[in-house]
Amino acid sequence: MNRKNLFGLTLDELIAELEPLPKFRAKQIAQNIYKHGKISFDEMTDLPKNLRAELSERYEIKIAELLTRLDSRDGLTTKFLLGFDGAAVEIVLMRHDYGNSVCISSQVGCQMGCKFCASTLKGLERNLTAAEMLAEIFFVEMFLRGDGQKLDSVVIMGTGEPLMNFDALIKMLRLLHEDYCLGMSYRKITISTCGVVPAIKKLRDEKIPVTLSISLHAPDENLRSELMPINSAFGLKTLLAAGDDYAQATGRRVTYEYILLGGVNDTEEHARRLAKILSGQLANVNLIPFNPVSERNFLPPTKSAVQKFFHFLNTHGIGATIRKEMGADVNAACGQLRAKFDGR
């Protein structure tokens, strides 16, 4: 008989599943799994032996299957391809000087159709469940614990549009934040969206003060609609208003991501328009030099275009940073490892 996987259940779900076991036992099991990373009931030495044997017969604790792993030459970036029921999902561990961070995927594939992105080339296969998203994070936490380290922050910026998988996303974030789980502060979590405006409002109403990153990529309606189909549904103006509203409600500065595409959106005129539309907002800009994708016909910006754009924003009242390129030798841009794996 197939054993049921307990990984990803909340404490309330564990209590219901394990009934008539007393609640404190469910709590011990939750802590064993999430806090102590025990994936075999035999290791749960605070449970009576006969209970451990009974649990092992009915249940398992399965996190994720490792399909392949790639390390950057500088040792700072490790990319893992994980398998969930036949789906391949990419995550990236980045060792920054301010701590360890993981970039996770929210969907298998993506339906948003952004013109420069590899993740959306084959459309959406399916949503990831809350348990699978938690497993992506947990996999890295366990990997780091093996090295005597820990995970400090999470960015949901891999394959997929997290706000199109809203309920599973919120369930996962709340579980991640629980004391019996990793107890991760919401402030250490960043969600990146292409601009699903109604879901940004829903996220605000959840009252979990995660950092919001909005993929802007263009300073006017026409260019943005050309690059990102979502802009035809929710235009730039509505998106900026939703971003401002999120910042006001949470007191958290919104980050606007801006991919620099050589010759497309990287001139001084674009920088001027960007500074204008963001002036007065509680916002930062993160400039991302385009990471070339073989299937896409865009060029990276020149070094000098990046510097000029960056300088223009910073001297016109907009705090901007340039995304540090990490792990270019392991294809750290989203979707690229998975695309290669699928194309075997």
Q: Which residues bind ligand SAH (CB under 6 A)?
A: 112, 114, 116-117, 157, 161, 192-194, 215, 257, 259, 288, 290-291, 293, 333-334
CA angle at 198 for the pair 194 and 203, rounded to the nearest 5°: 85
Name the residue nearer to ligand SAH (CB basis): 173 or 293: 293
Cα→Cα distances 10→43, 92, 141, 205, 247, Å: 20, 25, 18, 21, 29
At a CB cut-off of 8 Å and minimum separation 6, what does 22 contact?
none
- Which is nearer to ligand SAH, 135 or 155 (by Cβ)? 155
Q: Residue 333 Cβ, how far from ligand SAH at the closest point, in Å?
A: 4
Q: 30 or 243: whose CB is closer to ligand SAH?
A: 243
Which is it for the CA torsion 301, 302, 308, 314, positive or negative?
Answer: positive
Least Cα distance to 83 among 33, 146, 138, 135 occurs for 135
Name the minimum Å distance from CB 217 to ligand SAH.
Answer: 6
* 200 or 271: CB nearest ligand SAH: 200
**203 residue type, one letter:** L
Nearest one of 254, 169, 162 to 216, comparing CA atoms: 254
Whole-angstrom distance, CA of residue 72 vs CA of residue 326: 8
**Minimum distance, C-beta of residue 300 to ligand SAH, in the bound complex (Å):** 8
Pairing of strands 4-5, 59-60: parallel
Q: Which residue number, 100 or 291, has a Cβ lying nearer to ligand SAH?
A: 291
Cα–Cα distance, 39 to 33 (Å, whole number): 6
Sign of CA dihedral 259, 262, 265, 266: positive
Please, what is the minimum distance in Å from the beta carbon of residue 161 to ligand SAH? 4
Shortest separation between residue 299's beta carbon and ligand SAH, angstroms = 11
Q: For the chain, what is the radius of gyration of the CA atoms?
A: 21
Identity at 336, one-letter amino acid code = Q
Q: Which residues are catalytic?
A: 90, 334
CB of 210 to ligand SAH, least distance (A): 14
Rounded distance, CA 214 to CA 254, Å?
A: 7
What are the b/e assignments for 107-129, b being 16+ CB within 10 Å?
Answer: bbbbebebebbbbbeeebbebbb
CB of 8 or CB of 158, closer to ligand SAH: 158
